[in-house]
Structure 1
Amino acid sequence: MFYEPEKGHGLPHDPFKAIVAPRPIGWISTIGPDGAVNLAPYSFFNAISSNPHLVLFSSEGAKDSATFAEESGEFVVNLASRDLAEKMNASSVDAPRGVSEFAFAGLTEAPSRLVAPPRVAECHAALECRVTEVRRPQGLDGRPAGVIVVTGEVVGVHIDEKVLRDGLFDAVAAGNLARLGYRDYASVTEVFEMTRPLWKD
Structure 2
Amino acid sequence: MNTVWMTVAAYLIGSISFAVICSKLFGIADPRTYGSKNPGATNVLRSGNKKAAIATLIGDAAKGWLAVWLAIYFQDKLGIGDATIALVAIAVFLGHLWPVFFRFVGGKGVATAAGVLLGLDIWLGVATLVTWLVVAFAFRYSSLAALVAAVFAPFYYGLLFGVEPQLFAVFAMSALLLFRHSKNISNLIAGKESRIGSKKGK
Scaled to the shorter chain, the TM-score interval is: under 0.3
Point out the structure with the larger strand share: 1
Larger radius of gyration: 1
Q: TM-score, normalised to structure 1's length?
A: 0.24
Instruction: Answer 1 or 2: which has greater helix percent.
Output: 2
